[in-house]
Chain A
C-alpha cells in the first residue's frame, strides 16, 4: 500500500471511529459554547465590555476546547494496541501521525468554525471582524491540533497525563493565541490584519512540516 493510501486510510478510520461515538465527538463543541457563555455571567453583561473582550474570550475558549480534546488523539489507540501496529507498519510513522492529526482537526477544530461566528454575534463583535475571525480559526485551529500532538505523544504512556499535558502544551500555544486574538482585535477596530494572518499561515505551514517528526519520535519513546 503506498504511503498516500495509508495516510487516507488512517483519516478514514479515525473519522469512522469518531462518528461511531457521536456523543463524545460533540463534547469539545459543547465545552466551547459553555466556556464562552460563562464569561458574560462572570464579568457582567455590559455590551461594551463584552465587545472589547470578544476576540480574547473566543480564542481562550477555543484553546481550552482544543486542549480538552487532545487526550483522545492517541490515548485509545495506545490502549487497544493499534498504536503499536502503526509503529510496526512499514510506512513512515510521521505521515501516519499527520493523518491522525488531520482527522483530529476535522472532528474537533472544524465544528468550532461553525459555532464561533454565532457566539461572536452574541458577544457583540463588530460585523467587519467576522471574516477575520473565520480566517484566524481556519489558520490557527489546525495549529492547535498540531502543537498539541507533540504534548500528547510525550504523555500518552503516563497514567495521569492530563495536568502535565496542559503544562506542556499551553506555553506552546501562547504565540497562536497572541496572533489570532490580536488579528481579530485589530479587525474589530478597523485596522489591517495582513501581518498577523501571514504569520499564522507561516506558523501553520512550518508546523505541518516540522511537527510530525518530533511527534513520531515521542510516540516511539512512549510505546517502548
Chain B
C-alpha cells in the first residue's frame, strides 16, 4: 500500500497494536466523556426546556430526543460492525475484531432503547403500545440480528475463531438491513397500516431540530466512550498472558 503516506500508515500500524490502543483509549476516554456530557446537557436543555410545545402532540413529543437518536445509532452501529467485520476478515486485525465484539451489546442496547421509547410514545399518540408497522418491525428484527451476533460470539470457545464467525455474520446481516427496512414498508403498504412517518416531515422547526441534532452527536460520543471502555476490557481478557498486560498490572499494583 505504497500510495498511503508513510506517517499515516505508521499511525495505523501503531494504534492497531493492543498496548498502544489501550494507552490511547485511556488518554481519550476522559475527554470524550466531557464532550459527551456537555452535548448531552445542551441537548436536553434545548429539547426539554427551550423547544416549544408541539401544537399537535403536546409535550409528549419530547421523547423524540431520546428515541430518534437511539434509532439512528442502532443502524449506524450495525453498519460500523459490518465494516469492522470486513477489516477483521481481510487484514486479520485483532483490534477490528475487538471493536466489533465490543460494539454489539451497545448497539443492541440502543435498539432496545429505541423500541421501548417508541412504545412509550406510541401509547399516548396512537393509543397502543405496539403496531406491526414497518419501522417498528424492522427495528425488532434488527434487535434479533444483534442478539444473534452476541450469542454466536458467546457460543464459540476459541475467541479468534468466534470473532471471524461473527465478522461473517455481521457482513451477511448488513446486506439484510436495507432489504428488511424497505420490504417491510412495501409489505405494509399492501395492508394499509397506520401512517407513522413522523421523521419524513421535512418541516421540523429549527428550535426542535437543533437539540435533536445535539442529542444525536451526544449519542455518538457516548458510543465512543462505551465502546472504548468495552474494548479495553475485551483486550485485557484476550491478552491476559501477554507481556504488556503483566507490565500494566505491575504498574498499578
Contacts and interface: CB of A to CB of B under 8 A. Distances in A.
A164 B172 contact: no
Given A155-B152, A164-B152, A217-B89, A171 B141 contact: yes
A168 B164 contact: no
Nearest to A186: B190
Q: Size band of the A side of the interface? A: 20 to 34
B82 to A, nearest CB: 12
Interface string A162-194: 001001101110110011001001100000000
A161 interface: yes
A117 interface: no
Contact of A150 (B156, B164, B172): B172
Main secondary structure of the interface of A (DSSP, over half): helix
B109 interface: no
B172 A214 contact: yes
A154 B184 contact: no
A174 B180 contact: yes
A171 B176 contact: yes
B145 interface: yes
B89 A167 contact: no
B171 interface: yes
B164 A221 contact: yes
Given A164-B151, A170-B144, A175 B180 contact: yes
Contact of A158 (B89, B141, B155): B155
B28 interface: no
A171 B148 contact: yes
A161 B180 CA distance: 25
Interface string A141-164: 000000000100011011001001
B129 interface: no
Given A185-B190, A221-B164, A224-B161, A175 B155 contact: no
Of listed B168, B175, B176, B180, residue having the most chain A CB within 10 A: B168
A208 interface: no
A175 B186 CA distance: 11
A218 interface: yes
Interface of B: 89, 141, 144-145, 147-148, 151-152, 155-156, 161, 164-165, 168-169, 171-173, 175-176, 179-180, 183-184, 186-187, 190
Given A175-B179, A178-B187, 18 more contacts: A154-B168, A158-B155, A168-B169, A171-B145, A171-B148, A171-B176, A171-B180, A172-B173, A178-B184, A179-B187, A182-B187, A182-B190, A186-B190, A210-B175, A217-B89, A217-B164, A218-B165, A221-B168
Nearest 5 interchain pairs by C-beta = A175-B179, A171-B144, A178-B187, A168-B148, A175-B183
